[in-house]
Amino acid sequence: MTPLRKQTNPLPLRLKITSDPATLASTRRAVEMFAAQCGFDETARGEIGLVINEALANVIRHAYQGATDQPIEVSGQKPAGGMSLSVREWGLRVNHLEVPQKKHDPLRPRGIGLICMRQMMDDMEFHKQPDGMLLSMSRVLVRSKPHGAKEAC
């Protein structure tokens, strides 16, 4: 296998997908490849891939209530020293940061997505749109200390 070549200025990432769960794996791979082009190591790429997977699963489950034919746009940019990602949907305008958090039950598979997103990214914001929601996230290339939630994901 040939190692991925890192670029100093990769092209912006632009993906138009549907809310079909079958799109998650290829989208995750594309985001991980973009993270590699931005200079992130294998561990960080895996974390970023997990974050985008969780974000998209939440859109499918909550914003689109399981519908498999709704539009989602994923984009990525490389600002100096890191990367930024955004997920745009046209669903129910659910801001997960405003929903009261339930205590995580380790016996239930749900509820860890936001924990992981907060822990593995340096910044995360939901922006209500007139017709949906925009999730913006960013991560710096070099982190000074472990970041995020006290609970492990």
**H or E element in which residue 136 lies:** strand 132-140
List the chain pLDDT tens, one digit each, 153 residues.
Answer: 444 444 467 889 999 999 999 999 999 999 999 999 999 999 999 999 999 999 999 999 989 999 999 999 999 999 999 999 999 999 987 666 565 555 656 666 566 788 889 999 999 999 999 999 999 999 999 887 555 444 556
Parent domain of 135: 13-140
Assigned domain for 73 exists: yes
Predicted TM-score (pTM) of this structure: 0.82
Indicate which CATH number applies to the domain containing 17: 3.30.565.10
Assigned domain for 153 exists: no
Q: What is the Cα Rg of the chain in Å?
A: 15
Distance CA 24, CA 30 (A): 10
Assigned domain for 145 exists: no
Count the helix, strand and coil residues of the chain and give each as a percent rounded to the nearest 5.
30, 25, 45
Question: Residue 29: is it exposed, middle or buried by C-beta count within 10 angstroms (0-12/13-18/19+)?
Answer: exposed
| Structural domains in the chain (count) | 1
Assigned domain for 147 exists: no
Assigned domain for 5 exists: no
Assigned domain for 148 exists: no
